[in-house]
């Protein structure tokens, strides 16, 4: 009896060893798969001498959660930083070279030359050209800001579509986990797949998870809206194709609850969608308002005043706008002004105007002519415009770049505002990417595969396999000896 028992035990040992070997080979194959969790083979003694191999999956829920959180904040920060960077470059150019501030500085210089040579037609044209440059810079800036907003809007739509797809996939993975758990089968592969999906979902939106009976998982956003419970909940978003200065974008609804928007350059927006929402609804509109204020400042600095003593209202001079020749309301943002500002046709020779009108006044009729004698070297108006550019005026505080400053200073304040956000976004991105790297490393260390260890295990298994085989052979020899005795 005992010899056949020994034979049985050796046989089951061989079986157990080969199963363990298969697990080792699976681990080694997936050594570089970041979504793979190491499998551990557990030997259990059932009946005396009989070994069962059960598979355990290495997991560390708290590290996994920390990693999901880090991924969310990093993705939110990175999407914000990228969008700010693109917008800064489109509006202000490299080192602020094409910013309104620089263009206004050039205009000031051109006015200086014009005031020094008021009779020179080509220098007058150069001043008008500098004004055209300012207009271009503001028009392009306004267009770039709108483009940044509609780009963010499109990105949100893509992200939402992706997210809905991922949630649908998540249902399949979750169902597989539940059925494996109920059926008592090995759920490791299904769990790997489900965890990988969670990582991808957290790139779009910050999540927290709750595990229920039978490994069923519920996903909610960190703000509490349900994303998945047995079935995926709907994430809905209505994209807008075109953005203007007054366009208000639609909210992203998760299960009927709007997704909150974060604040700050080192943003508390987590997940890509929140990052895009922040650029679309906060940063770009504020910057747009600043450009509008710069445009308003320019229009009022170059306004023509009544010279006839008839108390006529001031009218738009060198710079005018879609609502001209009246001036935009003082002290408050006129949305879309940066997009509609233009040079006055009366002074622009490309549309039949005369650059000397800037020197003499009178774009709005004879009452506004300051140089009544038509003297060729009249410079008083030009000197006045120059001084106006440096004179403090009232700006709308809601635009966030100060309330009282000269147009010159306000335009550089706006650069400071944007670059300040960009700098803190860039630094925060660095910190957050380091956190992702660190938590991924910790997670990988806790749940990943070490090839060396697996190889060592393989050596061990080889020996145990050899020993079991030797045992079989010995028992076989012993049985042979026994049978030979019986002959």
Partner 1 sequence: MKTTYVSSNAINQALRYSMLRMQADLTKSQKEMSTLRVADVGLALGSRTGLSVSLNRDVARLNSLMDSNALASSRLASTQTALGQLADRGEDLRVTLAAALSGNADPGVVRDDGSAMIEAMTAILNTSINGEYLFAGINTDAQPIADFSDPASPNRVAFDQAFFNRFGFNQDDPAAANITKAQMEAFIDTDVVPLFTGAAWSDWSSASDQPIVSRIGLNETTETSVSANISGVRKLAMAAVLSGRLMSGNFNEGAIAAVVERSLGFVAEGVAEVTDQRSATGVAETRIKNATTRIEMQVDLFERNIGDLEGVDPYEASTRVTALMTQIETSYSLTARLQQLSLLNYLP
Q: State the residues that interact with partner 1 by CB under 8 A.
A: 31-34, 38, 88, 95-96, 99, 101-102, 104-106, 108-109, 112-113, 115-119, 373, 375-380, 383, 386-387, 390, 408-409, 412-417, 419-420, 422-424, 426, 434, 437, 440-441, 444-453, 455-456, 459
Q: How far is the CB of 161 from partner 1 (least distance, A)?
A: 30
Comparing CA positions, the residue from 390, 384, 386, 419 lying closest to residue 290 is: 419
For partner 1, give the closer residue by CB, 451 or 482. Answer: 451
CA distance 390 to 303: 15
Q: 253, exposed or middle or buried, with CB in 10 Å at 0-12, 13-18, 19+?
A: middle
Q: How far is the CB of 430 from partner 1 (least distance, A)?
A: 8
Comparing CA positions, the residue from 338, 410, 430 lying closest to residue 136 is: 338
Q: How far is the CB of 142 from partner 1 (least distance, A)?
A: 19
Q: How far is the CB of 387 from partner 1 (least distance, A)?
A: 8
Q: How far is the CB of 455 from partner 1 (least distance, A)?
A: 4
Q: How far is the CB of 423 from partner 1 (least distance, A)?
A: 3
For partner 1, give the closer residue by CB, 9 or 63. Answer: 63
Which residues fall within 8 angstroms of residue 459, CB to CB, at 6 or more apart? none
For partner 1, give the closer residue by CB, 194 or 422. Answer: 422
For partner 1, give the closer residue by CB, 47 or 434. Answer: 434
Q: How far is the CB of 299 from partner 1 (least distance, A)?
A: 20
For partner 1, give the closer residue by CB, 77 or 412. Answer: 412
Question: How far from the centroid of its chain's Cα atoms is residue 15's Cα?
Answer: 53
For partner 1, give the closer residue by CB, 251 or 444. Answer: 444
CA distance 482 to 469: 20
Comparing CA positions, the residue from 174, 169, 242, 167 lying closest to residue 207 is: 167
For partner 1, give the closer residue by CB, 138 or 180. Answer: 138
Which residues fall within 8 angstroms of residue 191, CB to CB, at 6 or more apart? 37, 57, 59, 177, 215
CA distance 485 to 444: 60
Please tell me whether residue 70 adopts helix, strand or coil conformation.
helix
User: With contact defined as beta carbons under 8 Å apart, do 403 and 394 qualify?
Assistant: yes
């Amino acid at each position: 009896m005992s010899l056949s028992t020994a034979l049985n035990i050796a046989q089951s040992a061989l079986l157990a060893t080969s199963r363990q070997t298969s697990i080792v080979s699976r681990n080694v194959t997936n050594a570089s798969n970041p979504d793979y969790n190491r499998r551990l083979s557990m030997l259990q003694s059932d009946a005396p001498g009989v070994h069962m191999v059960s598979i355990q999956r290495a997991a560390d829920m708290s590290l996994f959660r920390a990693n999901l959180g880090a991924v969310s904040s990093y993705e939110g920060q990175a999407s914000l930083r990228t969008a700010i960077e693109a917008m800064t470059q489109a509006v202000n150019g490299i080192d602020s070279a094409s910013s309104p501030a620089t263009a206004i500085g050039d205009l000031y210089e051109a006015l200086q030359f014009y005031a020094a040579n008021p009779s020179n037609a080509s220098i007058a044209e150069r001043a008008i050209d500098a004004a055209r440059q300012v207009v271009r810079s503001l028009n392009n800036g306004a267009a770039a800001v709108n483009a940044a907003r509609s780009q963010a809007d499109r990105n949100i739509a893509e992200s939402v579509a992706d997210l809905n797809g991922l949630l649908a996939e998540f249902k399949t993975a979750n169902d597989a986990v539940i059925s494996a758990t109920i059926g008592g089968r090995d759920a490791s592969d299904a769990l790997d797949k489900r965890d990988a999906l969670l990582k991808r979902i957290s790139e779009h939106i910050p999540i927290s998870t709750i595990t229920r009976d039978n490994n069923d998982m519920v996903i909610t956003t960190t703000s509490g809206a349900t994303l998945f419970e047995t079935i995926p909940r709907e994430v809905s978003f209505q994209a807008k194709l075109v953005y203007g200065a007054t366009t208000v974008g639609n909210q992203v609804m998760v299960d009927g609850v709007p997704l909150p928007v974060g604040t700050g350059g080192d943003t508390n927006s987590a997940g890509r969608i929140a990052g895009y929402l922040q650029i679309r609804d906060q940063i770009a509109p504020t910057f747009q308002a600043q450009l509008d204020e710069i445009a308003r400042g320019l229009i009022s600095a170059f306004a023509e005043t009544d010279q006839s003593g008839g108390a006529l209202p001031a009218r738009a001079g060198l710079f005018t706008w879609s609502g001209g020749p009246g001036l935009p309301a003082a002290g408050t943002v006129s949305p879309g002004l940066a997009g509609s500002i233009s040079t006055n046709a009366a002074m622009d020779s490309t549309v039949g105007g005369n650059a000397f009108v800037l020197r003499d006044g009178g774009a709005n009729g004879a009452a506004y002519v300051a140089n009544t004698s038509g003297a060729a070297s009249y410079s008083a108006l030009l000197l006045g415009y120059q001084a106006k550019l440096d004179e403090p005026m009232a700006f709308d505080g809601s635009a966030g770049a100060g309330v009282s400053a000269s147009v010159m200073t306000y335009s550089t304040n706006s650069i400071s505002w944007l670059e300040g956000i960009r700098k803190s976004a860039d630094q925060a991105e660095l910190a957050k990417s380091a956190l992702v790297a660190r938590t991924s490393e910790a997670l990988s260390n806790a749940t990943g595969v070490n090839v060396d260890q697996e190889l060592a295990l393989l050596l061990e298994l080889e020996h145990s396999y050899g020993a079991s085989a030797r045992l079989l052979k010995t028992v076989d020899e012993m049985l042979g000896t026994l049978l030979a005795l019986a002959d």
